[in-house]
Chains A and B, each alone.
Chain A
Amino acid sequence: MTAATLTARLRRTRQARRAAAPGARHLRPGWLAYTVLIAATAVFAFPFYWTVVAATQPNTAINAVPPALLPGGRLTGNIKEVLAETDLGKALLNSLIVAGSVTVGTVLCSTLAGFAFAKLRFRGRHALLALTIGTMMIPPQLGVIPLFIVIAKLHWVNQLQSVILPTLVSAFGVFFMRQYLLQALPDELVEAGRVDGASLLRIFLRIVLPVARPGMAVLGMLTFMAAWNDFFWPVIALTGDNPTVQVALNALGNGYVHDQSVILTGALLGTLPVLLVFTLLGRQIVSGIVQGSVKG
């Protein structure tokens, strides 16, 4: 009976939300909105477009005045050079493992802790929250040396966990999910769960997770991108022949001549998989954001 009540309440909420979805967006956008968005898209995407141009041109065409603005025909040549200089396949696989684990771990840990900080009352939560926000304030550059000492003591140098685990400490994620749930999760829902005698874990799984999903999707995207593009720490922690994409790209275009078209070809090959994933899965992830709540 209790479970039934709970489910019913939840279903009603979802229905309300789904009905609500067009509500906030009941007005169709005018041409002005499209103009602004298209302009913003052009500005945001231009460096990426230019990466494509550079990757299909020889180095000298990029340095010409004015530089080449349309794609050329040198893509395969540049790709060959990239593959000759780095083991991009392994790097891509490593990056996938690293960014994937970091994303899953961060989103899970952050949602758990964010829920606790947003909606639960326990001794010391103010202090712990302050500590969490405090960790965001530590300038990351200096932590590198002590962190590396920890990694070396654990014999993790050049192993993927040396990049994964420290990156999982995401105060940002915890804070983000807390603020999100503070706003998105009605107290009454949690209260209802309590009244029905559900354990906190069950409330978390049955009530919090569905509501948290849009926030988790955004956090997941941002985390994945950040982990994929992380550079400063992996270059130090990973040596030898176990690179992530960014570490591999760091070795590209070497020599006194920094061959920018080869570097940018590497950058393109390194970014393309991420963009593909987000464009293909984007519909799901993004529609998660749109609907307010995905089918649980």
Chain B
Amino acid sequence: MRTARTRRTGIVALGCTVLTATALLSGCGSSSGGSSANGGGKITLTIDLFGTFGYKEAGLYAEYEKLHPNIVIKETDTENEADYWQALQTHLAADSGLGDIQGVEVGRIATVVRQEASDFTDLNTLGASSVTRNFLPWKIKVATTPSGAVLGLGTDIGPEAICYRSDLLKQAGLPTDRAALAQKWSTWTGYVGLGKQYQAHAPAHSAWTDSATGLFTAMTGQQAVRYYDQSGKPVYGSNPLVKSAWDTSVEAARAGITAKLTQWSPQWNQAFSTGAFATLPCPAWMTGYIKGQAGAAGKGRWDIAPGPGATGNWGGSYLAIPKTSPHQKQAYDLIAWLTAKDQQVTLFEKEGNFPSNTQAIGAVQNYTDPYFNNAPVGQIFGDSAKNMPVQVLGVHDGDVNTALTNALSEVEQKGVSPQQAWQNAMNNIANAVAQ
């Protein structure tokens, strides 16, 4: 009795410490995450992505594993890019926990090229020099360091057009024909002007476009030099193109032709089915978004026409290989395959992600989308991609864009004066980029 009790007290007393110690010991011997070669001589490749790629959904991994029986692919996916990027930065800082392949969004690629080039493999050393010419030139260029190292292969791009609700335009007495509309809104001034016409005869609770910020992002997506110049010097405050995009967006906001929505917010999602706006600047991937939010009820109501300037880029991604990966060659073979023509064609037709591979762009040339009233999306987005400028991307592009679009929302949603809002944006940017 006595001994039993003593033993029991001892066990409980040491419980915590033992628990700790066991975990400490068991952890020290085992290997870290990432890739590994398992018993059957198979190589496991880990691919670490955020929510936009669609490889698994399109069955591409299964196909690749069938073609390469010694490869097993494990994908980790994070829905929110901001969460993903934060985790990636932490992993890079600690040099641990990285996948064999990491996805990089176009808005982040300049940071990788300028500041983290030493963490990623130059894909030319793995044979990328033979495939880089297959991509749109600018796509590869912004992923290339000044010394010529290619740090990522392109997945999709976001060529711009305008998506519109033909039923609402008709109610307001406007044309619904693609060619006629493209002609009327061949410039952004024309787009805003047509918006004022729409607003005068619009159905109740319906605005011309969703937000001033979408307008602004689409406009700046067409500029070769926007926030930074070729030498990497910030010009966001002085660039007349940025200022003119700002002024046009402010004009739209103050004319009351925007629905004053915040993009990606739940209210914005709701508005796709309520008809709160009739048109929106529309990168290729937005077509998938519209289908998801407006659902079957929206089929046939939506259409797509070439937008002002008939070009511009908004979004798109890269695949890169961290230097920590022990399977450099195998990882490269996989990303080369995933970004090759056939796979990019599959992704466009299944997921709406427009190819960055020129051969694939040619192959989807004649693709039409029944949801959007059989609009020739392959051709519209293809033309838009063809005219795309080589955009100079800066390290703080994302921060600058956030500050400017927030300021636009202040004008649009809070009625702050444009001068004050611009000043707020400049203060915010200074705060963000300050060393």
Residues of A within 8 A of B (CB): 58-60, 63-65, 67, 85, 101, 104-105, 108-109, 112, 144-145, 148-149, 151-152, 154-159, 161-162, 164-165, 168, 199, 201-202, 205, 235-237, 239-242, 250-260, 263
B residues in contact with A164, CB < 8 Å? 23
Q: Which of B37-56 contact A (CB under 8 A)?
A: 46, 48, 50-52, 54, 56
Q: Which secondary structure dominates where chain B touches chain A? A: helix
**A60/B79 contact (C-beta < 8 A), A108-B16, A256-B286 known:** no
**Stretch binding the partner chain, chosen from B187-195, B265-273, B379-387, B426-434:** B265-273
Contact A257 B288 (CB under 8 A): yes
**Stretch binding the partner chain, chosen from B7-15, B217-225, B365-373:** B7-15
**A59/B52 contact (C-beta < 8 A), A202-B9, A257-B288 known:** no
B83 interfacial by beta-carbon distance below 8 Å: yes
A209→B31 CA distance, assembly (Å): 39
CB-nearest residue of chain A to B2:
A3
**A161/B289 contact (C-beta < 8 A), A63-B272, A144-B90, A256-B52 known:** no
Partner of B31, one of A155, A205, A256, A258: A155
Contact string against A for B residues 63-101, beta-carbon threshold 8 Å, 1 for contact and 0 otherwise: 000000000001011111001001100110111111100
Count contacts between A and B, CB distance < 8 Å.
168
**A112/B16 contact (C-beta < 8 A), A60-B294, A144-B90 known:** yes
A65→B275 CA distance, assembly (Å): 11
Contact B297 A60 (CB under 8 A): yes
**A205/B9 contact (C-beta < 8 A), A148-B90, A154-B27, A239-B48 known:** yes
Residues of B within 8 A of A (CB): 5, 8-9, 12-13, 15-16, 19-20, 23-24, 26-28, 30-34, 46, 48, 50-52, 54, 56-57, 74, 76-80, 83, 86-87, 90-91, 93-99, 266, 269-270, 272-274, 285-286, 288-289, 291-297, 351-352
Contact A255 B27 (CB under 8 A): no
Contact B74 A241 (CB under 8 A): yes
Contact B52 A254 (CB under 8 A): yes
Q: For the complex formed, measure the closest distance between the CB of A66 and the CB atoms of chain B, giving whole angstroms.
A: 10
Contact A59 B295 (CB under 8 A): yes
Contact B97 A257 (CB under 8 A): no
Contact B52 A236 (CB under 8 A): no
**A255/B90 contact (C-beta < 8 A), A108-B15, A242-B33 known:** no
Which of B50, B97, B286 has the most CB atoms of chain A within a 10 A radius of its CB? Answer: B97
Contact B79 A251 (CB under 8 A): yes
Contact B27 A156 (CB under 8 A): yes
B residues in contact with A154, CB < 8 Å? 24, 27-28
Q: For the complex formed, measure the closest distance between the CB of B144 and the CB atoms of chain A, giving whole angstroms.
A: 27
Q: Which secondary structure dominates where chain A touches chain B? A: helix
Contact B76 A241 (CB under 8 A): yes
A residues in contact with B286, CB < 8 Å? 256
Q: For the complex formed, measure the closest distance between the CB of A176 and the CB atoms of chain B, giving whole angstroms.
A: 16
Contact B76 A251 (CB under 8 A): yes
Partner of B289, one of A144, A145, A148, A257: A257
Contacts A148-B96, A157-B34, A251-B76 supplied; 19 other A-B pairs, CB < 8 Å: A59-B293, A60-B296, A108-B16, A145-B94, A154-B24, A154-B28, A157-B33, A164-B23, A165-B24, A235-B87, A236-B97, A237-B97, A239-B76, A239-B97, A241-B76, A253-B79, A254-B51, A256-B288, A260-B269
Q: For the complex formed, measure the closest distance between the CB of A10 and the CB atoms of chain B, giving whole angstroms.
A: 15
Contact A65 B33 (CB under 8 A): no
Contact A201 B9 (CB under 8 A): yes
Q: For the complex formed, measure the closest distance between the CB of A253 and the CB atoms of chain B, giving whole angstroms.
A: 6
Q: For the complex formed, measure the closest distance between the CB of A117 and the CB atoms of chain B, giving whole angstroms.
A: 15
Contact B291 A257 (CB under 8 A): yes
Contact A105 B90 (CB under 8 A): no
Contact B90 A240 (CB under 8 A): no
Contact A255 B288 (CB under 8 A): yes
Which of A63, A148, A162 has the most CB atoms of chain B within a 10 A radius of its CB? Answer: A63
Q: For the complex formed, measure the closest distance between the CB of A112 and the CB atoms of chain B, giving whole angstroms.
A: 7
Contact A159 B27 (CB under 8 A): yes
Q: For the complex formed, measure the closest distance between the CB of A6 and the CB atoms of chain B, giving whole angstroms.
A: 13
Contact A155 B30 (CB under 8 A): yes
**Can you spell out 11 A-B residue pairs with CB atoms less than 8 angstroms apart?**
A60-B294, A105-B20, A148-B90, A148-B94, A154-B24, A154-B28, A157-B33, A157-B34, A255-B57, A255-B351, A256-B51
CB-nearest residue of chain B to A146:
B94
A155→B46 CA distance, assembly (Å): 17
Q: For the complex formed, measure the closest distance between the CB of A213 and the CB atoms of chain B, giving whole angstroms.
A: 14
A259→B291 CA distance, assembly (Å): 11
Partner of B32, one of A101, A152, A236: A152
A residues in contact with B352, CB < 8 Å? 256
A250→B80 CA distance, assembly (Å): 8
Contact A256 B273 (CB under 8 A): no
A235→B48 CA distance, assembly (Å): 12
Partner of A239, one of B99, B274, B289: B99
**A152/B97 contact (C-beta < 8 A), A58-B295, A240-B76, A241-B74 known:** yes
Closest 8 CB pairs of A and B: A158-B33, A257-B292, A60-B295, A152-B96, A254-B51, A251-B77, A157-B97, A152-B94
A154→B16 CA distance, assembly (Å): 20
Q: For the complex formed, measure the closest distance between the CB of B375 and the CB atoms of chain A, giving whole angstroms.
A: 18
Partner of A64, one of B16, B83, B270: B270
B residues in contact with A252, CB < 8 Å? 79
A residues in contact with B296, CB < 8 Å? 60
A231→B139 CA distance, assembly (Å): 34
A55→B272 CA distance, assembly (Å): 20
Contact A251 B78 (CB under 8 A): yes
Q: For the complex formed, measure the closest distance between the CB of B204 and the CB atoms of chain A, giving whole angstroms.
A: 14
B residues in contact with A158, CB < 8 Å? 32-34, 97
Q: For the complex formed, measure the closest distance between the CB of B218 and the CB atoms of chain A, giving whole angstroms.
A: 16
**A63/B273 contact (C-beta < 8 A), A250-B83, A257-B289 known:** yes
CB-nearest residue of chain A to B296:
A60
A64→B185 CA distance, assembly (Å): 30
